[in-house]
Amino acid sequence: MKKLYFLVAICLISAAAGSAQTYRLPASAPAAPVIAGKLVFKVKAEYRSSCRLNTVDQAKVKEALKSIGAKKVYKKFPTHQAPESMLSRDGKPYTDLSRIYGADVDPQLPIQKAINALMATGMIEYAEPLFIMEPLYNPNDPDTASQYYLGLLQAYDAWDISKGDSNYVVGVTDTGTDLDHPDLAAGIKYNYADPINGIDDDNDGYIDNFQGWDLGDDDNDPSVDIVHGSFVCGFAGAVTDNGVGIAGPGFKTRFLPVKISSNGLLIAAYEGIVYAADHGCQVINCSWGSFGGGQYGQDIIDYATTNMGRLVVGAAGNSNNDAPFYPASYKGVLSVTATNDTDTKWVNSSYGSNVDVSAPGEAVYSTIFDNTYSFSSGTSFASPIVAACAALVWSANPFMSPLQIAEQLRATSDDINGVPGNAAYINQLGKGRVNLYRALTETPKSVRFEDIAITDGNDNAFAGGDTLQISGLLHNYLQPLSNLDVTLTCNSPNITILNGSFNAGAMATSTTLSNGAAPFTALINPAIPFNSHIIFTLTFSDGTYSDWQQFDLVVNVDYINMLVNDIGVSITSKGRIGYNGSGQAQGIGFTYNSTSSHLYEGGFLVGTDTLHVSNHLFDSPTSVVADDFYSLVNVRKIIPSVVSEFDLDSRYNDDGAGVDKLDVAINQHSYAWSTPADSKYVIVEYVISNQGTGALQDLYAGIYCDWDIVAYVDNRGEYDAGRKMGYAYNLGTPNYYTAVKQLNYGSNNCYAVDNDGSSGSISIYDGFSTAEKYMTMSTPRLASGQAANGNDISMMVASGPHSIAPGDSITVAFALIGGETLSSIQASADAAQDKYNTLNSVAVIDVKNEGLNNVFPNPFSNTASVEYSLLTDEDVLIEIYDELGRKVAEPVRQHQQPGTYTLQLDLHGNSRGIYYCKMMTNTYSGVVKLLRY
C-alpha cells in the first residue's frame, strides 16, 4: 500500500533539533473543522509513572491544564496498559494508548494556544485538536435493484472457491445499524460471552455489549441514528444466500456494529477503531474522515495494525481532489476510492498517491433503516465492499498478516488506467479495481518502498539547484523475488533524475532491503517555480512482474527557516513571521536555543489610517487572514551571502487589498550572524516604496507578535523607550525573554496588548480589525500582563509616522531578539543596533583607515562615485552585486600605489533597489551598501 512508507522529507531549511513536535495541519489540506473546547494529548514515555486516570501528576502539566481552562481531563483508553514489549515480531514499535488523554478546555480559547501551552511543558509527546469526522455520504434517488458490483468483483466465481468464515468479522465504525433488518440481524457478530443481563460477564469494561456498542452515547444500543451506518453495514455483512434482499460480498463474513456517533455527529471515531480492534474484528472499516490528520490518529492505526494485528480499511474521500484524507491516508490503512459500473472514477471520488485500490461506489444498492433498501454513491460504500472482500480472503489465508492481506487485494486488482474516463487519473486510483476472485486464486508478487527519507546533503530546503538523495526500505510482502529492479521517474520537467535505478536482486517473502548505500538522486532545476508539487514514480520489475508506487513532494517553498544562530524563525514571502499562512501549519514560529516556539502569530504591517492597513495577519477570531500582500519575488537565500552569514530577500506589494491598498511595494531583507555578540537576534529590514500618484501621510510600519512564551497565560509585556524595544517574558519557569526592537532612525511606538481586553486594552479574542491594527501602530500602551500572574499578551512595535512622496521610499528595520534574562536581550539589542548602523554607514572602514571611504550621492539615480584608499602598494578587486548576490558589472582588477581613488559606477539599465560594492585587497575586505532609486 502506498501509504505504508513514512516520508521523511524536510522541505525547508532544517527545523530546530530536539524540540517537541506540536500538531500542524498538513499544508496542502483544505480546512478541517475541529470540535471546540476539546483536544487530545499524549504524555511522553518517560513520564508514564505520572499518568493517573484523570490527571497527569506533574506540576508543569497541571499548571498548563489549569491555564487553558481544562475542566475535565481523562484517559482516552482507561482500561489499556502499557505494552509488555517494545517491538512486534516484525520489528515495528507497539503503540502505548495508556498515555493518551482527552481534555475539555475553554472553548473560547484558540485551540492552538491550548496546544502550545501543553507542548511548552516539555512533557507532552503531541497535542492535537479533535477533528469533526464526517460520514462520506452522498444520497440519491432509488433507481433499480441491481447489484452490479458483485459481477465486477467476480464475486459469484469467488464464492465457488470460498464462502468465507463467520469467525472473520468486519468492525463497522459508523452511525449504527438496523438491528432487526431481515438482511442484517443474522449478520451481526453477537457477543455470547456477555448476554444482556445487566452484568459485565466478560469483564471487558462494557456491560451487556452483546450486539456491539454505542461509543457516542456510551451504551449497548448501536441502533442507527442516521441512515449512513445501516447502508454501510449492508456491504460489510448483509446475509448472503438467505432468500432475502441483497448479497454481501463477504458471504459468511459477519460484522460488528460500533456506533461512533451521537445525534448524527461522529464524536468517537478513533475510539471506535480501538473498540473494534479490542473486540476481535480482523478488519475495521472507516467510511468517514477529515482532512485533519495528526499523530493521535496514526497512533490509533498503529495500535490496531501492529499491536492487535488488524487491517484498517478507509474511504479516500468525496472531495474530487488529491488532498490527503484521514484516516485513509495514514500509513497502514488500505485506502479505497469509488468507481462505477464501467470502472470509471465516480465524479466526486478523491484520488492521488495515497489511494491503494478502487471499488464500486456509484449508484450501489444496500440496506437502509427501516428494513428496506436503496441506492447511493460515495467512497463510503466502496470501502466496506473492500473490507468484506478482505475478511473473506483472510479466512482463506489465515496465516497472512493484515498488510499481506491488503497487498493481496491490491496486487490482484484489475487495471483500470485504460478506461477512457480515467485518462486524467492515471495511477491516481490505486493499483486497480478490486477483484475478489483473483485475490482468492492468484499468488502475486508485491514489493513496497517504505520509510522513505529525502535529503539534499545540506540544508534540506529543497530549492532550485539542489540534488535530492532518496533512500528507503524495500519490503517484499508476498511471493519471493528472484531479481528485483527498481526505477525512479518524475512527472516534472524541472526534475532531472541522476540515478534512477537500483537492483535489489533476490528477496524472500517478508524481507526488507535498504538502498541507503546507493540512493536514488534527482536534481532540481534552478528555474523551478515556487511551491512546485512533484510526483515521483517507482517502477518495480522482476521477470513478468511489474508494479508501481508513487510519492509526492513540494519543493521550492515560499518560506524559509532561519536557523543560523540561537534564534530560529520562519521568514515568509508575504510579510508573515514565524508561520506561513493562518494557523501554524507551515513554519517553526520563533524559537530560542531550540525550545518550542514562543510565538503564536507574527507579521509586518503598514498603514496610513484606520481604513487602510496592509498586512497578512488574522482579522477574525477564526483566524481568517487579511490577504493583502501579494508576492512578487518569493523569499530566497542569497548565495553567496553578502551582508550576513544568511541573507534572505523577498518582494511583495499590497495589491491583495484591492480598493483599500496603499499602493506600496516592499523589499524585505533578513540577516543573521552566529558570532557570539550577534547570535541572539535576527534583523528584518523593509524598503517601502510608494507606487501610487499621491503622497502617503501618517504612515506607520511595524511588527506585531502574539507571544506565547512557555505557558501563554503568565506572559508580561513592557517597553524600553531608550532602545525603542517592546519585550515580553513569562513569569514561570523556565524563564525566557523575547523582543522586537526598531533599528532605523525616527519615532517609535509600542502598544502592549492584553489579548482578553482587560485593563483597558483592545481584545483580540473577538478579532483584530483594521482600525485596531492602525490604532496599535500609532497609539502607545506601554505594558501588558501586569496582573500578578501575568496574562495572554501581544505587542506591536512600529516606526512612524512617515511621509512617502510618489516614487520615493523609506527603510524601516527591526531586530527579533531572544534570551533568558532582561540584561541579555538588552545586550543583544545594543549589538543589533551597532550592527545595523555599520551596515548602513556609507563606508566600512578598518582601523588602518584603508578601504572604502565614501559613496556619493547615496541614494543615487544612475551613477555614483565610490571613494577608497590604499596604505600600501596592493592588488585591488572591486565588485558590484545586486540583492541576490549576482554580479551586475564587470569587476575592477588593478594594481595600485598608496593613495585615495575614485571609481565611477554606472548602473543604467539596472532595476531600482539595493546594491553592494565589495572591495578586497591582500589585507582588507569591505562592503558598502548602495541604494538606486
Residues with a known catalytic role: 174, 228, 380
> b/e per residue, 556-579, with b = 16+ CB within 10 A?
bbbbbbbbbbbbbbbbbbbbbbbb
* Three-class DSSP category at 233: helix
Cα gap 390→153, rounded to integer Å: 12
Phi (first) and psi of residue 811, to 5 degrees: -125, 125
Cα gap 43→640, rounded to integer Å: 44
Cα gap 211→224, rounded to integer Å: 13
What cell numbers appear for 378 in the block?
A: 460515495
**Residue among 164, 153, 163 nearest 437 (CA):** 153
Phi (first) and psi of residue 490, to 5 degrees: -140, 150
Residues contacting residue 285 through CB under 8 Å, at least 6 positions apart: 170, 171, 172, 173, 174, 232, 236, 313, 314, 383, 384, 387
SS (H, E, C) 675-713: CHHHCCEEEEEEEEEECCCCCEEEEEEEEEEEECCCCHH
In this structure, are residues 664 and 691 in contact, taking their beta carbons and an 8 Å threshold?
Answer: yes
* Three-class DSSP category at 726: strand
Cα atoms found within 13 Å of the Cα of residue 802, Cβ hemisphere only: 26
Residues contacting residue 49 through CB under 8 Å, at least 6 positions apart: none
**Residue among 288, 281, 160, 157 nearest 226 (CA):** 288
- Sheet of 481-490: strand order equals 501-507, 481-490, 532-542, 545-555
Cα gap 188→630, rounded to integer Å: 57
* Three-class DSSP category at 673: coil
- The letter for the amino acid at 254 is R
Cα gap 153→338, rounded to integer Å: 13
Cα gap 77→64, rounded to integer Å: 22
In this structure, are residues 797 and 673 in contact, taking their beta carbons and an 8 Å threshold?
Answer: no
What cell numbers appear for 418 in the block?
A: 485504460
Cα separation values, 67 from 713, 715, 791, 793, Å? 6, 12, 10, 14
Residue with cell 533476490: 506
Angle between helices 269-278 and 295-302 (to 10 degrees): 10
**Residue among 467, 334, 400 nearest 168 (CA):** 400
Cα gap 334→352, rounded to integer Å: 14
Residues contacting residue 671 through CB under 8 Å, at least 6 positions apart: 643, 644, 646, 647, 648, 682, 683, 685, 839
* β pairing state of 72-75 and 8-9: unpaired
